[in-house]
């Protein structure tokens, strides 16, 4: 009878485990190639990037450019990682351009392998998901931030712990020692709860570090992944040597969430009696402080693997190409699209010696096209993935002035903020290397004459030294002034039956048709307003043509 019951219990648990395993397998299989449906905690995601040393990087993408190119939305689209470690690593990878990545070929081999071998990919994803708890965000603090130091009177903690042991033992022989023990216990109680504020900083990160090490060891059993870091076993072994001390924090975390109140209370009394928490905490921190490089090696290995799985997932669902990165200063693009625009119209562009000047009406697609080029250059240089039929370009630094607003906190007007941004671009344009400048409607905050004059001078300066500029404008006058250094393209619209339609196709030459007044008419503006606008427009056109002939 008992054997039958035990068998039934084992069978029930076995079935439950099997069903759960099948459910996880199905979820990972069906979710591959799809965007995440979850909240993104960017304040935690970006911390690894913010604290990492980037002195050797070709460029760190600025907050300004990220804002212009809707970087957060781009990241949410690209992030298909399965661990918080991978998520933080991917964010850093997208923000930092590194020239001549030695792992580029190996990365492609691994991406191809996990894309073709579903069983292996799912097994790797299951391992990575062990680090998907929010506490895993805190691992990076163990090698990026300074640890708290023990108090100057730390030796007193060791003495009190020793006296507690002695008084407990001797109290069995002489009751007076129990009274001594109670006095020591009261002192230990104060120290124990004083230390709680120190412990809370590490109660999340240290247990996750143990898990990170286990995950890295499992991932390293795959031969292709071993090529990412041949010395990783040494780092894993170094962390393992600290595992016994760190396991105390793992037990502490479990007690808070899984064990009964009684077990927690008993364990708390033991810790107070012998001052276990401060002794273990500062002992572990002293060890970890000397193992920062090893911890970061394990962290980056796991993050890199997760990033490659994420890239494979994006490529499964999106039309993409692997860019050709060359030393020429040309930019050659075939059927590029903006990855964040649903059913985006594709466009083709080839820039040789010149930059690009775009004209066109509002909502015709000028700014979206400029953003699309900027985004694809970034993903091409960082993830070796572009959303186009083909793309070829040199290693470039990317700067932008697309979305500028008043900085009221620092008492800066729109115009002054733009002037500051453009000045920084001019300074960068004079340095060695190719730069890509993305601009939308230069100097909108000033009058027409000065806007055109300043715009011409700035755009001429930026296009020097093999730099590439993509700029949109409504000022047709600039098309004649910049003909020598800029190719002219435009986006247009078609007006039929009182409706405005955009085809979002890039066309050669400058925009010849102007429909702004026509759109006012379509929207039932008063007839006298429409007529006056047309008369003034004709006079201004005639004046401009006369000046052009004179010059």
Reduced to 3 states (helix: H, G, I; strand: E, B; else coil), residue 229 is coil
Say if CB 249 and CB 135 are below 8 A apart: no
Confidence grade of residue 228 (pLDDT, cut at 50, 70, 90): very high
Q: What is the mean pLDDT of residues 112-116?
A: 96
For the ranges 189-198, 332-341, 533-542, the maximum mean pLDDT occurs at: 332-341
Tens digit of pLDDT for each residue in 33-64? Answer: 999 999 999 999 999 999 999 999 999 999 99
CA distances from 51 to 40, 135, 140, 203, 211 (A): 19, 18, 9, 21, 22
Nearest of 138, 279, 103, 319 to residue 211 by alpha carbon: 138
Sign of the torsion angle spanned by Cα atoms 409, 413, 419, 422: positive
Whole-number mean pLDDT of the chain?
87
pLDDT value at position 247?
Answer: 66
pLDDT value at position 243?
Answer: 74
CA distances from 478 to 130, 364, 449, 451 (A): 57, 19, 11, 10
Domain boundaries, the chain: 324-513, 515-551
Q: What is the mean pLDDT of residues 185-209?
A: 86
Q: What is the mean pLDDT of residues 503-529?
A: 79
Nearest of 204, 232, 214 to residue 130 by alpha carbon: 214
Task: Look at residue 4 and tell me whether its pLDDT is greater than 70.
Answer: no
Task: Look at residue 5 and tell me whether its pLDDT is greater than 70.
Answer: no
Say if CB 130 and CB 211 are below 8 A apart: yes
Phi and psi at 467, nearest 5°, equal -70, 155
CA distances from 533 to 52, 93, 525, 530 (A): 56, 51, 11, 5
Nearest of 36, 133, 27 to residue 78 by alpha carbon: 36
265: how many CB neighbours lie within 10 A of its CB? Answer: 11
Q: What is the mean pLDDT of residues 122-133?
A: 96
Task: Look at residue 252 and tell me whether its pLDDT is greater than 80.
Answer: no
Confidence grade of residue 406 (pLDDT, cut at 50, 70, 90): very low
Task: Look at residue 537 and tell me whether its pLDDT is greater than 90.
Answer: no
Task: Look at residue 409 and tell me whether its pLDDT is greater than 50.
Answer: no
Q: In terms of pLDDT, which residue wins out, 442 or 321? A: 321
Tens digit of pLDDT for each residue in 312-368? Answer: 999 999 999 999 999 889 999 999 999 999 999 999 999 999 999 999 887 888 999
* Bridge partners of residue 395, in order along the sequence: none
Query: In the numeric block, which tokens belong to residue 324?
Result: 């050709």
> What is the value of pTM for the model shown?
0.88
> In the chain, what percentage of residues exceed pLDDT 70?
87
For tokens 């076993």, name the residue.
233
Task: Look at residue 412 and tell me whether its pLDDT is greater than 60.
Answer: no
Q: What is the mean pLDDT of residues 131-138?
A: 96
Kindly report the CATH class assigned to 324-513. Answer: alpha beta
Nearest of 106, 69, 102, 107 to residue 90 by alpha carbon: 107
Lowest mean per-residue pLDDT among 153-162, 390-399, 465-474: 153-162
CA atoms lying within 13 Å on the CB side of residue 273: 16
């Amino acid at each position: 009878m008992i054997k039958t019951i035990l068998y039934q219990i084992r069978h029930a648990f076995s079935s439950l485990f099997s069903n759960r395993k099948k459910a996880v397998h199905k979820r990972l299989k069906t979710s591959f190639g799809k965007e995440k449906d979850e909240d993104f905690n960017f304040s935690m995601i970006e911390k690894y990037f913010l604290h990492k040393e980037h002195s050797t990087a070709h460029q760190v993408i600025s907050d300004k450019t990220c804002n212009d190119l809707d970087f957060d939305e781009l990241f949410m689209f690209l992030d298909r990682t399965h661990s918080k470690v991978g998520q933080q690593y991917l964010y850093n990878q997208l923000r930092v351009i590194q020239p001549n990545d030695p792992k580029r070929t190996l990365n492609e081999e691994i991406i191809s392998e996990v894309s073709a071998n579903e069983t292996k990919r799912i097994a790797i994803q299951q391992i990575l998901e062990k680090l998907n708890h929010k506490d895993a965000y805190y691992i990076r603090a163990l090698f990026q931030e300074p640890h708290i130091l023990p108090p100057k009177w730390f030796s007193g903690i060791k003495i009190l712990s020793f006296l507690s042991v002695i008084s407990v033992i001797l109290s069995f022989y002489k009751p007076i020692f129990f009274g001594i023990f109670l006095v020591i216990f009261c002192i230990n109680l104060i120290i124990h709860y004083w230390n709680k504020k120190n412990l809370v900083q590490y109660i999340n990160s240290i247990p996750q570090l143990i898990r990170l090490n286990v995950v890295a060891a499992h991932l390293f059993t795959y031969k292709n992944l071993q090529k990412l870091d041949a010395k990783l076993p040494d780092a894993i072994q170094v962390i393992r040597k600290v595992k016994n001390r760190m396991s105390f924090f793992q037990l502490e975390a479990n007690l808070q969430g899984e064990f009964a109140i009684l077990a927690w209370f008993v364990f708390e009394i033991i810790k107070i009696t012998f001052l276990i928490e401060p002794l273990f905490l500062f002992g572990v921190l002293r060890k970890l402080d000397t193992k920062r490089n090893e911890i970061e090696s394990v962290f980056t290995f796991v993050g890199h693997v997760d990033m490659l799985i994420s890239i494979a997932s994006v490529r499964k669902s999106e039309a993409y190409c692997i860019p050709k990165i060359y030393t020429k200063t040309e930019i050659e693009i075939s059927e590029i699209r903006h990855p964040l625009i649903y059913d985006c119209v594709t466009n083709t562009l080839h820039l040789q010696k010149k930059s690009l000047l775009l004209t066109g009406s509002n909502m015709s697609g000028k700014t979206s096209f400029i953003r699309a080029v900027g985004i694809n250059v970034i993903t091409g240089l960082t993830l070796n993935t572009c959303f186009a039929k083909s793309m070829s370009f040199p290693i470039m630094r990317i700067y932008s002035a697309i979305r500028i607003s008043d900085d009221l906190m620092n008492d800066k007007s729109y115009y002054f903020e733009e002037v500051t941004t453009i000045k920084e671009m001019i300074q960068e344009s004079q340095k060695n290397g190719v730069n890509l400048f993305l601009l939308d409607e230069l100097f909108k905050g000033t009058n027409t004459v000065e806007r055109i004059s300043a715009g011409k001078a700035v755009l001429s300066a930026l296009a020097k030294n093999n730099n590439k500029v993509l700029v949109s404008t409504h000022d047709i006058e600039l098309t004649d002034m910049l003909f020598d250094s800029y190719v002219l393209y435009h986006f247009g619209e078609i007006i039929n039956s009182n409706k405005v339609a955009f085809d979002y196709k890039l066309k050669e030459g400058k925009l010849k048709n102007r429909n702004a007044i026509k759109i006012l008419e379509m929207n039932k503006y008063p007839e006298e307003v429409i007529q006056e606008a047309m008369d003034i427009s004709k006079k201004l056109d005639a004046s401009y043509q006369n000046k052009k002939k004179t010059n």
